Amino acid sequence: MIRRTFIKQAGVFAGGLLLHSQMAEAFASRGDGESINIGIIGCGDRGKGIVHTLKELNTKYNVTALCDPLDFRLNETLKEAKPAVPAVYKDYRALLDDKNLAAVVIAVPLNLHFQIASDALKAGKHVYLEKTMTFNTAQAIDLVALTKKYPKLTLQVGHQYRYTPLYYRVKQIIDDGYLGKVTQIDCRWDRNWSWRRTVPNPSLERKINWRMYKEYSGGLPAELLSHQMDFINWVFNTNPDQVMGSGGIDFYKDGRETFDNVQAILRYSKAGMIGNFGATCANAHDGYMFRLKGSKGMISLLVNEGFYYPEQETRKELELVDGVTGATKIQLSTDGGIPLLKEPAKDGTWYAFNDFYKSIQENSLPASNVLTGAKTAICVDMVNQATYQNSIQAWKSSYNLS
C-alpha cells in the first residue's frame, strides 16, 4: 500500500477521526424528539457520575427519580442533580411503579443487575444497564431470552468505550488492514489503591465495599477488564474458545474475597489471537494499557487517545513527503507513533447516552446491546472460574446466543 492510498483511506487518522467526532457532537446537539424521563437506580460514584452526564444532555433527558438504600448517597446525588428535584426512593420497585418514567439506569452491585433489569423490563421501562451485564453466564442467557418478549424496549449495556469516535476509528483501521494479521493483544488496568471506601458504620461494610466480596462482585475482571474484552469481541467479531487464569489476594490482606492481582489468557483460535488481560491494585505505572499487535503495525490505546506504530516495512511506505504530489508529511509522536486524535475525545458515557436516546426514539438496537453484553459477561465469568478454580475454561455452544 503506497502512502497516498493510506492517507486517502485513513484520512491521516486524526483528520478522519476529528470529522467523526464533530459529526457525533453535531448529532448530540440536536434536540430531535421529546426528552426522556429517566430514573437512576444506584447512587454510588457511577450513578452520580451518570447524573452529571445526563445534565449535559438536558435536551434529551430529565432525571426525575433517584433510588438508593443509603441516605448519604441519595443526598450527594440530589446535590448533583440540581436544579432538578427528582423523586427519591429507597426501594427500586417503588421507582419502577412510577408511570412517568420511561427509562432507568441500573448502577448497582453486580449481583443485583439481572433481577432489577428483569423487573424494569416487565415494568415497561427502557434499561441502561451498567457493565458487566450480569453476574454469571446463566443470568446472561436468561436476560437475552427475556428481552425477546419486549421488542419495543431498549436494553443497552454500559460498555461505554465502544461508543467513542476513537474506538470506532480503531475498528475501521483494523477492518482496512493497517495492522495486518493481529496475533497478540495486551491489556492492563492497574492502580495503586485498595479499592476500599470509607464506611460510616461497620454494618454497611458489605454494602459499600461490595466489590471485594464474591457474593456481590466479579472483581477486577468484571469492573475493569470487561471493557477491553468487550472491545475485542466486537472489533474482531469473535469470542475466546479457551480461558486460563491466575490470581490471588497478594497485597491487601484486609479481609477481601475478590483478588487484588489477576492475569488471564484468552485464546481466540478462530481469529488466531492470544489476549492477555491483567490488573493489579499494587502498582499504577501502566494504568490503562491496551495494545493490539499485528504484522503491519500496532495500535496503543488509552481511554481517550491512541497511537498507530507501523512496522518497519509499513513505515517505509508512509515516511517522508510524497515527492510526486507534495502531500503533507505524516506527523509522528516523539516515540514514532502516529496520533489517532488531535485532541482527547469526550468521556465515553456522553456518547453512550446519545446512542441510548437514539435507540429509544428509533426502536433500534444499540451498539452495546443484550447480545454483545451477554458475550462479554460470559467471558468475565469464564475468567473468574479459571482464576478461582485454577482451571481451563472452554467456550460452549450454548453460549452462542442470537
Count CB atoms within 10 A of the CB of residue 268: 21
Mean pLDDT on 247-276:
98
Q: Which cell numbers in the block locate residue 388?
A: 478461582
Task: Give yes or no: residues 224 and 281 share one domain.
Answer: yes
For residue 236, what is the domain's CATH number?
3.30.360.10
What is the reported pLDDT for 327? 43
Per-residue pLDDT at 117 exceeds 70: yes
Nearest to 266 by CA among 395, 142, 175: 395
pLDDT at 282 over 50: yes
- Per-residue pLDDT for 132 more than 90? yes
Q: At what angle do helices 14-29 and 348-362 cross, to 10 degrees?
A: 50
Domain-terminating residue out of 161, 182, 202: 161
CB count in 10 Å sphere of residue 105: 29
The per-residue pLDDT for 205 is: 97
Residue 340 has pLDDT above 70, yes or no: yes
- At 188 the pLDDT is 97
Residue 267 and residue 290 in one domain: yes
In a domain, 61, yes or no: yes
Q: Is residue 360 part of a domain?
A: no
Give the domain CATH number at 71: 3.40.50.720
Q: Sheet with 87-89: list strands edge to edge.
A: 87-89, 61-67, 36-41, 103-106, 126-130, 155-158
Range of lowest pLDDT (147-156, 312-321, 360-369): 312-321
pLDDT of residue 55: 96
Q: Report which of 322, 272, 277, 275 is spatially closest to residue 295, judged by C-alpha positions.
A: 272
Q: 165-175 and 14-29 helices cross at what angle (nearest 10)?
A: 140
3-state secondary structure of 359: helix
What's phi and psi for 134, nearest 5 deg? -135, 165
pLDDT for position 302: 86
Q: Comparing C-alpha atoms, which of 258, 224, 264 is closest to residue 240?
A: 264
> Is residue 181 located within the same domain as residue 140?
no
Domain that holds residue 96: 1-161
Examine the domain organization and report whether 127 and 194 are in the same domain. no
The tally of domains found in the chain comes to 2
Q: Are 342 and 18 in contact (CB under 8 A)?
A: yes
Residue 363 within any structural domain of the chain: no
Q: Which pLDDT tens digit goes with each residue over 33-90? A: 899 999 999 999 999 999 999 999 989 999 999 999 999 999 999 999 999 999 999 9
CB-CB contact of 289 with 187 (8 Å): yes
Assess whether 255 and 326 both reside in one domain. yes
Q: Are residues 193 and 147 in the same domain?
A: no
Does this model's pTM top 0.85? My answer is yes
Q: What is the pLDDT of residue 320?
A: 45
Asked which of 126, 161, 196 is the last residue of a domain, the reply is 161
Residue 67 forms part of a structural domain = yes
Average pLDDT (271-293) is: 97
> Residue 297 pairs with which residues in a beta bridge?
310
pLDDT of residue 41: 98
Task: Report pLDDT for 191.
Answer: 97
- For 305-337, how does the pLDDT look when each residue is reduced to its tens digit (9 = 90+)? 899 999 988 887 776 433 333 344 455 566 778
The lowest-confidence range among 15-19, 206-210, 366-370, 374-378 is 15-19
Phi and psi at residue 269, to the nearest 5°: -65, -40
Based on the domain organization, do 54 and 24 belong to the same domain? Answer: yes
- What pLDDT was estimated at residue 332? 59
Same domain, 177 and 205: yes
Residues 110 and 152 in one domain: yes
Q: Is pLDDT at 400 greater than 90 in this prediction?
A: yes
Residue 10, pLDDT above cutoff 90: no
At residue 99, φ and ψ (nearest 5 deg) are -70, -15
From residue 343, how far is each of 262, 277, 306, 353 by CA, in Å? 32, 27, 10, 21
Do 67 and 135 fall within a single domain?
yes
Domain match, 145 and 260 both: no
- Residue 123 has which C-alpha cell? 415494568
State percent of the chain over pLDDT 70.
Answer: 88
Mean pLDDT of the chain: 90
**Is pLDDT of 6 > 60?**
no
The DSSP bridge partners found for residue 122 are none
Length in residues, the chain: 402
How much is the pLDDT for 334? 64
Integer Cα distance of 81 and 174 in angstroms: 40
* Residue ending a domain, choose from 117, 141, 161: 161
77 falls within a domain: yes
Report whether 56 contacts 40 (CB < 8 A): no
Mean pLDDT across the stretch 208-229?
A: 98
Q: Residue 311 domain-assigned?
A: yes
Q: What is the pLDDT of residue 223?
A: 97
- Does 358 reside within a domain? no
Dihedral angle computed from the Cα positions of residues 62, 65, 66 and 67, in that order, rounded to the nearest 10 degrees? -140
33: amino acid identity, one letter: G
pLDDT digits (tens, 9 = 90+) for 290-308: 999 999 999 999 888 899 9
Residue 169 lies in a domain: yes
Measure CA 101 to chain center.
25
- Do 116 and 185 sit in the same domain of this protein? no
Q: In the prediction, which pLDDT does 330 show?
A: 55
